[in-house]
Each structure stands twice: as structure tokens, then as C-alpha cells.
Amino acid sequence: MTSTTPASIAIGSDHAGLTLKDALRAALEAAGHAVTDHGTHGPDSVDYPDFAHAVCAAVAGGRADRGVLVCGTGIGMAISANRHPDIRAAVLHDGTEARLTRAHNDANVACFGARTVGVEVALDALRAFLGTPYEGGRHDRRLAKLAPPGAKPAA
């Protein structure tokens, strides 16, 4: 896995996403990224929001450049992640979605479904996610509209 610049990545999963998370973490580390693994670390049943919140706190707090979350479908992780005002998370199924969510939405957390996406597809999408810059321009006004009324727009 390569991307333009090594980044700090916070990663987490529930029990359903553990195997895919471990594969993504290994590829990220092999590519020179600094990875902080927020768990889970075993197959016992756990609650996905706990891991989503830990990863999102690291990204929103500036301790990680990007986040990666994995559960059975990616949906629960994305819903949990998007509860955080400075997080823009998307469930990714391929490289095209990954490029567009970065370029148009400045997404900072990639979510994957271990039951819906294979390892190679997830690796390809993650490469695209990390290697695609935000385009800005016309997208800035749209991102500003994501903030709740009266709140500071997402960073």
C-alpha cells in the first residue's frame, strides 16, 4: 500500500471487523504509516460505537490524520462516527467511492464492512482514500452546510 505521504492513522473495529482491520493495519504499517490500533483485539462480541468513538476522538483531537473503522457492514461504524461534529465518515465499497468522498466531501474516516468487501478491494479503496486530496472550491460551501445551525463548520 502506498500513498503520497505517510500519515498517522487511528484504526478500530468490532469483533465482526477484526480480521479485515488487522489486514488493513498490517498494510498501513508496511507502507510506513503510523497506526494506532484502538481495538478490538479479540473475537469476543463487543459494541461497535465504543471503537468508533475512540477512533473519532483521535482524529478530531488531532492525534491522527485519518481514521479507519471496520464492522460487519461499515454502516454502524459510519453512523457512530458521524455523530462527531468534526468527522466526515463514509462507508466505502471501492476506489471510486474512496476518491470521491475525499475529493468532494473531505472525508476523514473510512468505514468498511468485513462482510461486504474483500481484503483486496478494501486495500484498493484505502489507498485511494489516503492518496486523494480534498478539491475545495465549490465543495467548501457544501461542507459548511453540514454543520448544525449556529455551530462552527467542520474543520
- In tens, the pLDDT along 75-118 reads 999 999 999 989 999 999 999 999 999 999 999 999 999 999 99
Strands (E), the chain: 8-13, 34-37, 66-71, 89-91, 109-113
Say whether 71 is catalytic: yes
| Sheet arrangement for strand 109-113 | 34-37, 8-13, 66-71, 109-113, 89-91
Say whether 104 is catalytic: yes
Confidence at 140, pLDDT banded by 50, 70, 90: confident
- Entry pTM: 0.92
With b for 16 or more beta-carbon neighbours within 10 A and e for fewer, the 39-65 pattern comes to bbeeeeebebbebbbbbbbbbbeeebb
What pLDDT was estimated at residue 143? Answer: 87
Determine the Cα–Cα distance for residues 121 and 139; give it in Å rounded to an integer.
27
Contact in structure between 99 and 43 (CB atoms under 8 Å):
no
Helix, coil or strand: residue 109: strand
Instruction: Given the residues 38, 56, 71, 84, select the one marked as catalytic.
Output: 71
Residue with cell 466526515: 88
CATH topology of domain 8-144: Ribose 5-phosphate Isomerase B; Chain: A, (3.40.1400)
What pLDDT was estimated at residue 136? Answer: 85
